[in-house]
Structure 1
Amino acid sequence: MFNVNYKIAHITLLADDEQNMRSFYRDMLGLVERKKAKNQFSYAFTNQDQPFLTLTFTGRKPLKQRQGLYHFALLFPDKASLASLIERLILSEYPLGTGDHDVSEAFYLNDPNGNGIELYHDRPTELWEWDQGFVKMGTKAVDVLSLLQTKQADWSGFPVGMTIGHLHFVGDSVHKGDAFFITMLQMSLTAKITESAHFYAHNAYHHHHAYNTWFGPNVARRRSDENGLVDWTILVDKQLFTILQHSLHDQNHSTQSSQICLVDPFGSRLLINEDYANQM
């Protein structure tokens, strides 16, 4: 498919444990916190950025694992700034996992509600290996000491140029993932882990989204009052927006002139907005 503008702009999570959650995002990570309403706070990377995350503190802990967001991934513009935050987390003894995925170096952690977060930087695209439309993505340990040596300053907050790099979901059937991301959202399949996880992207990125079945085939959807993903918003250019409008209308989905609203395979809402600020 032709190149498009595709940006994951925002996610909304239902949450509880307000004190520890706010402390984690505001004080541990250093995000800019703004109160939106009673029991609701938003978080931006810098004072100049629009919020990318909203927490609504009216949720409750689920009794079992649920379908929905597996993790959201924050993409750093450079290795050095990622190293600064990782050093801070290590010195704070915050539990971390790692994954060198060939195309990127990633660190994994959970917030106090158990939401998965990936912190990563991409290696230069010329180093990515493609074969018949699939990108090589392995998993091995990150050389943490080597990464930390790239640090240029102590952590003082997120740098300019941060984005949500991708959203990784968990469900009960990769076929549902293919139907949603490939058929409905017009994305390409870029990688597989056997038949348990599929990865999808526009513009030959390694993945904007992933769908796995690692909680088993009987995992249920999140209940509306349980913690987890409520909605997510993407921005696309006019050309892709028009294509999606026509395609989804033909599939009997309701579309509007300024926004497309869908229910994703996990029961949360996807809002698709045309991004007038960044036309191709």
Structure 2
Amino acid sequence: MTTHFHKKPNTYVSHVQIKVSNLERSVEYYKNVIGFQVLEQTDHTAAFTTDGKTSILSIEEVKDALPLQRGQTGLYHFAILLPTRKDLGNFIQHISELNVPIGAGDHHVSEAIYLYDPDGNGIEVYADRPEEEWIWNGNTVYMTTEPVNFRSLLAKADGTWNGLPEGTVMGHIHLSVADLRKTEAFYTKALGFEVVTRYGSRALFISTGKYHHHIGLNTWESSGGSPAPENSVGLKSYTLVMDNEEKAELVKKNLKELGHVVEIFEEAPKFGGSQAFSTVDPSGIRIVFTLDGE
């Protein structure tokens, strides 16, 4: 298991907040297809959990929501990390029984399944390979995209799918951005991430603590793009956990020095933790920072 990459002292994604057009439809999807439990629900929001205590994903219904458009910045996909390869095999068995269309990729560091929610928000469900099998060349990790060996994965399955298992975490987020150079400077200089892989000149992957990536960034469909309108479906925000107050103060200082607005919350977000503040990255994507986390 590689979930130590999603604990302090690393800076990691703990929670993603998505906007949807129909709450009831999305709740059914995230429960029955993806396998979440509902932790809490209101007339227009729902928070999902796998352990009955913490939420890694929440959704909010937007009235008269606009659909996603090509060329917008925002979510490429959020990625749910399962504890074991057997869990991924069970998940594949489960969605094949539902006849859900999927994509797939073997990235050498991980094996991944790709889906879209009813509003077209991208989802990855994946399992990491053991980190001793990852290939590092200095500070660069080898990643690729090959066909997934479904036979091998399904051989691990034992038919005991009861939803996402406890120990599932938000593994990473992959963002569609407008300008890769500006985005790289923001995430490395202001937030302290390290570039660990580049895919040509249009995508890069960043992490802390030598993970293969906590955040993916690409301009494949969004180069020069602008954010979706406020009343569109898509990404509302995502949360990064920082190690301690010193790190939080350093990030605030870096953001201000680079000309980014730092917003302090009057009260902590319900699923985001204490000591929270937020900013907007160069592509208009809102990031919530918190100290709460493991």
Partner of 1:179: 185
* AA partner of residue 116 (structure 2): N
Indicate whether 1:84 and 2:90 are aligned.
yes
- Taking the aligned partners of 2:59 and 2:250, their CA distance within structure 1 comes to 32
* Equivalent residue in structure 2 for 1:61, among 63, 66, 80: 66
After superposition, give the CA deviation of every residue in 1:225-272 in whole Å (9 maximum; x if it has no partner).
101111111211115324323323433543659223111233232111
After superposition, give the CA deviation of every residue in 1:120-173 in whole Å (9 maximum; x if it has no partner).
111111111111311100100000110111113421122121111100001222
- Taking the aligned partners of 1:231 and 1:180, their CA distance within structure 2 comes to 17
> Residues 194-205 of structure 1: matches in 2 within 5 Å?
194-205=200-211
Which piece of structure 1 moves more, 260-269 or 65-74?
A: 260-269
Indicate whether 1:254 and 2:259 are aligned.
no
- Taking the aligned partners of 2:167 and 2:231, their CA distance within structure 1 comes to 34
Partner of 1:244: 251
Partner of 1:220: 226
Per the alignment, in what secondary structure is the counterpart of residue 211 of structure 2?
A: coil
Indicate whether 1:111 and 2:111 are aligned.
no
Partner of 2:287: 270
By how many angstroms is 1:41 displaced?
1.1
* AA partner of residue 139 (structure 1): T
> Residues 12-51 of structure 1: matches in 2 within 5 Å?
12-47=17-52, 49-51=53-55
Relative to the length of structure 1, the TM-score reads 0.91
User: 1:31 touches 1:46 (CA, 8 Å); kept in 2?
Assistant: no
After superposition, give the CA deviation of every residue in 1:26-52 in whole Å (9 maximum; x if it has no partner).
1222211144432111111232x3111
Indicate whether 1:149 and 2:155 are aligned.
yes
Partner of 2:130: 124
Residue correspondences, number: 274
* Equivalent residue in structure 2 for 1:206, among 203, 208, 212: 212
- Taking the aligned partners of 2:238 and 2:142, their CA distance within structure 1 comes to 28
Root-mean-square deviation (CA, aligned residues, Å) is: 1.9
- Taking the aligned partners of 2:32 and 2:48, their CA distance within structure 1 comes to 12
User: 1:46 touches 1:158 (CA, 8 Å); kept in 2?
Assistant: no
User: 1:31 touches 1:44 (CA, 8 Å); kept in 2?
Assistant: yes
Indicate whether 1:6 and 2:11 are aligned.
yes
User: 2:67 touches 2:119 (CA, 8 Å); kept in 1?
Assistant: no
Q: Report the CA distance shift for 1:13/1:63 in structure 2 as closer, same or farther (over 3 A).
A: closer
* AA partner of residue 57 (structure 2): L
* Equivalent residue in structure 2 for 1:136, among 133, 136, 142: 142
- Taking the aligned partners of 1:248 and 1:200, their CA distance within structure 2 comes to 18
| Structure 2 segments unaligned to the other structure (5+ residues) | 1-7, 265-273
Q: Report the CA distance shift for 1:142/1:114 in structure 2 as closer, same or farther (over 3 A).
A: same
User: 1:249 touches 1:255 (CA, 8 Å); kept in 2?
Assistant: no
Partner of 1:94: 100
- Taking the aligned partners of 1:225 and 1:262, their CA distance within structure 2 comes to 19
Partner of 2:271: none
